[in-house]
Structure 1
Amino acid sequence: MQLHDVWFVLIAVLWIGYFFLEGFDFGIGILTRLLARDRAERRVLINTIGPVWDGNEVWLLTAGGATFAAFPDWYATLFSGFYLPLLAILVCLIVRGVAFEYRHKRSEERWQRGWEQAIFWTSLLPAFLWGVAFANMVHGVAIDQQKNYTGSVLDLLNPYAVLGGLTTLVLFTFHGALFAALKTVGEIRLRARALALQLGLVTAVLALVFLVWTQVDRGTGGSMGALVVAVPALLGAMFAVRLGREGWAFALSGLTVVAVVSMLFLALFPNVMPSTLNPDWSLTVANASSAPYTLKLMTVVAAVFTPIVLLYQGWTYWVFRKRIGVQHIPAGEHLPAGDHRPAGAEG
């Protein structure tokens, strides 16, 4: 296996990790309007991701940086061709982070309601747009001989890409509902389980159609294997939540996310961006990669720092592993939206 193949796999792993973690993160943001009935319950949901949401985004930064360094032509074509959707995602992530930190700064109803609306929309839009972007990347776009994207923004909103966006949107919301059921107590936990069952049915239909379409369009033997894993994992998550086993349900929904993203990368390889104008103009792991020396240096750096990041993030989730409920929200107190005190620590 060549180093550029290794780095394609590593970048795929980074995106898988990002969507696994940020997937339930986005889902929680969407559920602040779909599940929570009042401000206290919205606060509970936000606090379930308060200690971890910013750490989850490290995976995105790392994936973007690794793509820039390992596959500069892929990075250049992707970010120039998909400029407006990716800019919209970036703006949403910035506003979302500001909303988490500024929501508690003032107690006025209008102020807090505005930031809560921002959290909802800046979670929903990226969850949809990431699916659109990756579906286009797998399906192929108009790339010319100079490796430039020659299509328009409207070309990116083709039926397959829109279906991909709807699939990730509903899948992440389902993933978030199971995380909410796993991390909360009381009535909101029961409602999260009930909503997860409803979302699971919609997710199963959309995901099955999207994944089968992907397999027919760009499928390989490896992507077929991922499809075989994704569908049973999703059904297993629904069965587990019906039995009240939130831990198993969340693990299986996470496996579904992993299988879906893996299928996209397996269908893509050895291309990184297929050209619909001429297959010979497609970007591949070979013609879009950096020099071997750059890849060797990156491999050494990744081998040293990746275990450190994984240990630190794993420790964070362990520390903040307890469930929380409305009883843990001090009445009349406006704490930070991501209050990092463990559940029950309020005195």
Structure 2
Amino acid sequence: MELHNLWFVLIAVLWTGYFFLEGFDFGVGVLTKLLARDREERRVLINTIGPVWDGNEVWLLSAGGATFAAFPEWYATLFSGFYLPLLIILICLIVRGVAFEYRHQRHGGRWQTGWENVIFYASVLPAFLWGVAFANIVRGVKIGADGEYVGGFWDLLNPYALLGGLVTLFLFTFHGAVFVALKTLGPVRERASRTAAFVGIGTAVVALAFLIWTQADSGDGWSLGALVVAALALVGALVANRLRREGWAFGLSGVTVVGAVAMLFLSLFPDVMPSTLDPAWSLTAENAASTPYTLKIMTWCALLATPVVLLYQGWTYWVFRKRIGTQHLAASASGAGAH
């Protein structure tokens, strides 16, 4: 396999890992308003992702950095053409992180409610906008002969992209609900399971419509296989959730995310950003790539660093694997671990 194709695959893996991990903590953020009934239950939800949310975002940094180094033309066109939606996502990620850390610093009701609102909206917006962004990447945008995006912001809000945004919003919320069912006890666990069943049906409807549209527009045999895997995994997750097999439900919802993202990248290849103005102006894995020497150095760095990151993050999830409930919360929110 040529190095530029290898790095296309590696970047696809990084984005898939990001959506798998950050997807459920976006979902938990959404559920702070949809599932929790009081401040204690919101604390439980936030504490399920408290030890891991910042580590999940490492995958985004890795995916962005790898894109910049391996495919500078792709990075330049993507981040300049999608500047406003990506800026909104970045702001949301910043204020969301601040909200996690500041929410428990004071006991006032207005203070905590305000930061809880920030967590909710700063989870909903990225969950939606990532779908809009990736749908536009797969569908293609207005790229000129010089490789620059020549469209406007409103061109990105087309029906296909908006449907893609709904898919990621629903899918991440479902993924978060089964994660909460896996990680909690008592009434929160029961309600999370019921919420997952309800949201899962909506996810199936919008995801099936979007993936079939994608397959009909730009798919091939490989992407069809990924579509089938994603669809079967979603059905399996719903069945497992109904049977109260939370571990299986979470694993299968994760496979759904992996299958859906894999389908998008399989539909995209060998392009990295198709041009809707002229196919000859599309950015491809070959013409947007860095020099072979740069890709070779990056490959060796990735081989050395990736196992360390995976081992550390896996250890973190293992350490914080136990379920929690309202009975585990400190009487006061002022303790070091009480968030």
Report the TM range for the smaller structure's normalisation.
Answer: over 0.9
Query: Structure 1, residues 241-273: CA drift from partner, whole Å, max 9, x if none?
Result: 100000000000000000000000000000000
Aligned partner of residue 105 in structure 2, secondary structure: coil
Give the direction of change, closer, same or farther, for the CA distance of 1:195–1:141 in structure 2 (3 Å limit): same
Assess if the C-alpha contact under 8 Å between 2:4 and 2:295 holds in 1. Answer: yes
- TM-score, normalised to structure 2, is 0.99
Give, as a single letter, the amino acid of the residue that structure 2 aligns with 1:325: G
Measure, in 1, the Cα distance between the counterparts of 2:125 and 2:174: 16
What percentage of residue pairs aligned between the two structures are identical?
71
Assess if the C-alpha contact under 8 Å between 2:143 and 2:275 holds in 1. Answer: yes
Partner of 1:17: 17
Which ranges in structure 2 are unaligned for 5 or more consecutive residues?
none
How far the C-alpha of 1:221 sits from its partner, in A, is 1.3
Partner of 1:215: 215
Please list, as runs of the form range in 1=range in 2, the aligned pairs for 1:106-121 lying within 5 A after superposition.
106-121=106-121
Measure, in 1, the Cα distance between the counterparts of 2:4 and 2:73: 13
Partner of 1:6: 6
- TM-score, normalised to structure 1, is 0.97
Give, as a single letter, the amino acid of the residue that structure 1 aligns with 2:181: A
Assess if the C-alpha contact under 8 Å between 1:183 and 1:321 holds in 2. Answer: yes
Aligned partner of residue 66 in structure 1, secondary structure: helix
Partner of 2:262: 262
Partner of 1:225: 225
Partner of 1:345: none
Partner of 1:201: 201
How far the C-alpha of 1:227 sits from its partner, in A, is 0.4
Partner of 2:286: 286
Measure, in 2, the Cα distance between the counterparts of 1:166 and 1:336: 37
Query: Structure 1, residues 219-242: CA drift from partner, whole Å, max 9, x if none?
Result: 011110100101110010000010
Please list, as runs of the form range in 1=range in 2, the aligned pairs for 1:132-151 lying within 5 A after superposition.
132-151=132-151
Please list, as runs of the form range in 1=range in 2, the aligned pairs for 1:40-59 lying within 5 A after superposition.
40-59=40-59
Query: Structure 1, residues 25-71: CA drift from partner, whole Å, max 9, x if none?
Result: 10000000000000000000000000000000000000000000000
Query: Structure 1, residues 74-132: CA drift from partner, whole Å, max 9, x if none?
Result: 00000000000000000000000000011111111111100000000000000000000
Measure, in 1, the Cα distance between the counterparts of 2:90 and 2:335: 27
How far the C-alpha of 1:336 sits from its partner, in A, is 5.6
Measure, in 2, the Cα distance between the counterparts of 1:333 and 1:225: 48
Partner of 1:343: none
Assess if the C-alpha contact under 8 Å between 2:330 and 2:338 holds in 1. Answer: no
Give, as a single letter, the amino acid of the residue that structure 1 aligns with 2:322: K
How far the C-alpha of 1:303 sits from its partner, in A, is 0.1
How far the C-alpha of 1:304 sits from its partner, in A, is 0.2
Give, as a single letter, the amino acid of the residue that structure 2 aligns with 1:269: F
Assess if the C-alpha contact under 8 Å between 2:104 and 2:333 holds in 1. Answer: no
Measure, in 2, the Cα distance between the counterparts of 1:211 and 1:249: 21
Query: Structure 1, residues 11-31: CA drift from partner, whole Å, max 9, x if none?
Result: 000000000000001000000
Please list, as runs of the form range in 1=range in 2, the aligned pairs for 1:92-131 lying within 5 A after superposition.
92-131=92-131
Assess if the C-alpha contact under 8 Å between 1:20 and 1:254 holds in 2. Answer: yes
Give, as a single letter, the amino acid of the residue that structure 2 aligns with 1:62: S
Measure, in 1, the Cα distance between the counterparts of 2:326 and 2:90: 32
CA RMSD for the aligned pairs?
0.9
Partner of 2:90: 90
Partner of 2:30: 30
Which ranges in structure 1 are unaligned for 5 or more consecutive residues?
340-347
Measure, in 2, the Cα distance between the counterparts of 1:222 and 1:59: 25
Assess if the C-alpha contact under 8 Å between 1:103 and 1:337 holds in 2. Answer: no
How far the C-alpha of 1:330 sits from its partner, in A, is 1.7
How far the C-alpha of 1:331 sits from its partner, in A, is 2.1
